[in-house]
Structure 1
Amino acid sequence: MKDPFPPPPRDIVRFLEPICARLKLPLLPYHIHELLVALFVYQFIYSYVGPRFSPSLAPKTFPNLQGRSKLDWNIHVVSMTQAMVMSLLAQYVVLFDEERKQMNAQERAYGYTGLSAMALAIANGYFVWHLVMMAIYVRTYGWGMLAHALATNFLMIQGFRPAFLTYGVASYLYEWSNIPLNIHRALGKLKMEKSRFYVFNGVVLFIIFFFSRIIWGTYLTWWFYKDIWSAWTTDPPKGIEKLPTWLLVGHAASATVLQTLNYVWFWLIAKILVSRVVFKKEKKWTGVKDE
């Protein structure tokens, strides 16, 4: 399926082509405008939209937030926006990109569709924004979060090689679980942990997390492993450079770590859900991170 956005100016493409060719990212010049627009939009939301609408949403709480609490709130306004945008966009790609559906193992490893690349560019706009924020506030969030942001950017940008571009888009369906997760965090800031809505949102988080990260995540990871093995053991399509072993290992390791974390986080969510709903214990929800 074609990219619905117009291409970038030809002069920009010509300028970036030799640079991106050396970086082995030949598709990036044709989608760089979408990445930059997304980056600008997310920064605009962080700087202007969130701070201006949050006082209306939480008039008693937001004006009193200071330091990291206020920073977290503004960052998660962007995270919430990104989760909604990417969930809907990824769902549309997975359901309606017929070209993607018909790909074989080689095409899933080396293939490209315009719609998938557009979704990848928009998502990368957020990942770049998040990386910059973690670098600016490294003393607040720690070197671990900065390292995580660097690794995420490096692996996701490889989709413009292209390398497993369609899997990157399919993994954005995990973002469905980040919507109730961000609501949960907002309710915590609003001191609504004892409300019925807090518990209801926790149940919704449990259900969505189960389907998006356990069921879909397990299914996607299994096929990802198979296609990584196929890319390693077979020759690429004629005229295409074989994906390097380090990249295949990196993708396999990242998929393993992420899916393992999904299982761990789901167990923690289930444990706390049982504690709150069955045993009526006032225990806060787990600090699952939005990935």
Structure 2
Amino acid sequence: MWNQFLQPFDQMFEYIQPICNYLKLPLLPGHIHEVFGALLFYQILYMYIGPRISTYLAPKTYPIFQGRSKLDWNIHIVSMTQATFISFLSQYVVLFDYERKRMTAQERAYGYTELSTTALAIANGYFIWHFIMMTKHVNAYGWGMVAHACATNFLMIQGFRPAFLTYGVASYLYEWSNIPLNIHRALGKLKMEKSKLYVFNGVTLFIVFFFCRIWWGTYLTWWFYKDIWNAYISPPPKGVEKLPTWLLFGHAIATTTLQSLNFVWFFLIARILLSRVVYKKEKRWTSAKGE
């Protein structure tokens, strides 16, 4: 019975394997089911599960949402789910994957662990979904979010090469900041801007964002640059093809894009927090098209 259930997947792997080999992503076939599984789950959550849960939890508010408000709410239900799950998973990998901790600079560039690859695959399913949504709704979210999605997907898909796979898992710790961010957005939609919970969550967002994306992000980016340079000037491990220059250059550009956006968003969060909490003025997180 179990073998019959797995047979279609085995056939799918036979078709995918040559494509992945051509693209030089040899780790992807063994984890493609996790990528597709996560992608499918988040789409079902967005279309069916999320709206039903939202109607149950906010019966007086959610049903009257229209346009951008409803789109934003549904997307952030998915974002909240993904951020919570991947934050705990990546934190576990960073703390308890001892094989990963013992890696040298060369191993961080060319190596991988099974646990790290699993975390990469699950997160990659979300980031593909995120890219599709940001591209589809670029008029609502802007080209900055499309650039963020492109940079993220470029970095993550190359992890299956493997190329700097362990850095992908470490960067998932950024997702801790998305938990209070999504709560903050939800409280705003529910007209709870004057509540103590709103203020407390806003301060929490500022602190968590700083430590996750500014402090940790800068530290991680610095080490990433060093390992990219080391991979450029040093020979690869015996029997392994050297990472091409275009890939190293692409990693540097994508990382710079992501970290630059982190600083831009931190500035916006700080400005809005000061406006709402200190000066008691209203400022929106995003434009209000369609609200």
TM-score exceeds 0.5: yes
Pairwise mapping of residues 160-199 of structure 1 onto structure 2 (< 5 A)? Answer: 160-199=160-199
Pairwise mapping of residues 7-46 of structure 1 onto structure 2 (< 5 A)? Answer: 9-46=9-46
Tell me which residue corresponds to 1:3. none
Pairwise mapping of residues 184-263 of structure 1 onto structure 2 (< 5 A)? Answer: 184-263=184-263
| CA distances 1:1-33 after superposition (whole Å, capped 9, x unpaired) | xxxxx9x95443333221101011111001001
Structure 1 residue identity aligned to 2:159: G
Q: Is the 8 A contact 1:159 1:165 kept in 2?
A: yes
Distance 1:185 1:261, change over 3 A: same
Pairwise mapping of residues 106-117 of structure 1 onto structure 2 (< 5 A)? Answer: 106-117=106-117
Tell me which residue corresponds to 2:52. 52
Q: 1:128 & 1:262 partners in 2: Cα distance?
A: 20
Tell me which residue corresponds to 1:122. 122
Q: What SS does structure 2 have at the residue aligned with 1:217?
A: helix
Is 1:265 aligned to 2:248, yes or no?
Answer: no
Q: 1:271 & 1:131 partners in 2: Cα distance?
A: 27
Q: 1:151 & 1:172 partners in 2: Cα distance?
A: 14
Is 1:282 aligned to 2:281, yes or no?
Answer: yes
Q: 2:226 & 2:286 partners in 1: Cα distance?
A: 32
Q: Is the 8 A contact 2:154 2:254 kept in 1?
A: no
Distance 1:23 1:51, change over 3 A: same
Q: Bigger CA drift: 211-220 or 225-234? A: 211-220
TM superposition shift of 1:264: 2.9
Q: Is the 8 A contact 1:73 1:186 kept in 2?
A: yes
TM-score using structure 2 length: 0.90
Structure 2 residue identity aligned to 1:19: I
TM superposition shift of 1:148: 4.1
Q: 1:94 & 1:147 partners in 2: Cα distance?
A: 27
Structure 1 residue identity aligned to 2:246: W
Structure 2 residue identity aligned to 1:282: K
| CA distances 1:244-281 after superposition (whole Å, capped 9, x unpaired) | 1111111112222222222232233233333444x342
Structure 2 residue identity aligned to 1:209: F
Tell me which residue corresponds to 2:134. 134
| CA distances 1:204-244 after superposition (whole Å, capped 9, x unpaired) | 10111111112211111111011001000101101111111
Q: 2:41 & 2:179 partners in 1: Cα distance?
A: 19
Distance 1:258 1:154, change over 3 A: closer
Tell me which residue corresponds to 2:99. 99
Distance 1:262 1:65, change over 3 A: same
Structure 2 residue identity aligned to 1:49: I
Q: Is the 8 A contact 1:135 1:146 kept in 2?
A: yes
Q: 1:285 & 1:12 partners in 2: Cα distance?
A: 46
Q: Is the 8 A contact 1:193 1:284 kept in 2?
A: no
| CA distances 1:145-190 after superposition (whole Å, capped 9, x unpaired) | 4454334323310100111100011000000000000111111111
The aligned length equals 281
| CA distances 1:91-132 after superposition (whole Å, capped 9, x unpaired) | 000000011000000100010111110011001100111222
Q: Is the 8 A contact 1:86 1:175 kept in 2?
A: yes
Q: What SS does structure 1 have at the residue aligned with 2:50?
A: helix
Distance 1:140 1:264, change over 3 A: closer
Distance 1:173 1:46, change over 3 A: same
Structure 2 residue identity aligned to 1:246: W
Tell me which residue corresponds to 2:83. 83
Q: Is the 8 A contact 1:134 1:149 kept in 2?
A: yes
Q: What is the Cα-based RMSD across aligned positions, in Å?
A: 2.1
Q: 2:37 & 2:93 partners in 1: Cα distance?
A: 20
Q: What SS does structure 2 have at the residue aligned with 1:31?
A: helix
Is 1:158 aligned to 2:142, yes or no?
Answer: no
Structure 2 residue identity aligned to 1:274: L
TM superposition shift of 1:198: 1.0
Q: Is the 8 A contact 1:116 1:166 kept in 2?
A: yes
